[in-house]
Structure 1
């Protein structure tokens, strides 16, 4: 019984530590770019048609907020919006997947055995690794920049974070804003070619 309580306390400590570290660091951002592309050639931008998140034929409050955030980020980098014939086309989509982490925790315990020579019980220590697992849902937002003339993706960025449940609408919007700004913080190019 005491061993079970120690295991549960250790599991809770690990889970809380993982949750706090995820909150403190924000989304995990990854980017990739086509190394053969000269990004200084791009001056205008527009939205790819149809946007992957709106392939069902309608928009949502989430896709509209992402569009607003993308517009701010692109304009802050000197790109001009063009509804038709833009140099760069922005596409985005979101995905939620179940994730599992598995790790080992070193443990030690004592086993009591009867020793006939000593005519008493003797404690024998032993060591083992206990396997722990944690399952959560991870949300990922991906933004792709596509060369409008060649219809070829030239840059992509994604932001991933554990999905938080039961949040207020303002918190959800702040999370979307943080994801888009985190992605574009790793986009090093500007329309004027300046870093």
Structure 2
């Protein structure tokens, strides 16, 4: 029973770890106030075309909410987005029996060794990372990069929620100098 409770708690902790990790970087000399339009140079390629569409639409919505306007080509900013997925594994080892027959007071230190057992479970999961780069179209220099990384959920509803959460967090402080996400 104790091993079962530990397994459930470990699973719950892994599920909580799905909050996206976001990092951004920018060119401090870039004049973000001068950028009014953007064009897609590279759209992300996802395993699912629906997820790909949702990512592009989500980025478009967040940039437009910041005052930028999409143009088919020739925007002030050229956007390039990439999706990277990788499989990760965790090992959970559970021990039953102490392996120490009389630890401490009456049995002495380690007296009466008993057999304990260990069971290790391997959990495989996918981690997805979205990388969004912005380039000044005139100078061809990178001006902003954002990455959002997290565990890829198994259900489509949870994938959509994870995409939204990642994009919200990614663009919360765009343009640089805007207030950070709460």
Question: TM-score, with normalisation over the residues of structure 1?
Answer: 0.67
Aligned: 1:39 with 2:32: yes
Structure 1 Cα separation of the partners of residues 148 and 125 of structure 2? 16
Paired position in structure 1 for 2:63: 74
Structure 2 Cα separation of the partners of residues 21 and 172 of structure 1? 14
> Closer, same or farther in 2 for the Cα pair 1:53/1:146, shift >3 Å?
farther
Structure 2 Cα separation of the partners of residues 44 and 72 of structure 1? 13
Tell me the C-alpha RMSD between the 2 structures. Answer: 3.7
Paired position in structure 2 for 1:148: 137
CA contact under 8 A between 1:139 and 1:161: conserved in structure 2? yes
Specify every segment of 5 or more residues in structure 2 that has no aligned partner in the other structure, as ranges.
Answer: 112-117
SS in 2 for 1:91: strand
Paired position in structure 2 for 1:18: 13
| Bigger Cα displacement from structure 2, 36-45 vs 59-68 | 59-68
Paired position in structure 1 for 2:114: none
Match of 1:124 among 95, 106, 109: 109
Q: Which has the higher strand share?
A: 1
CA contact under 8 A between 1:109 and 1:125: conserved in structure 2? no
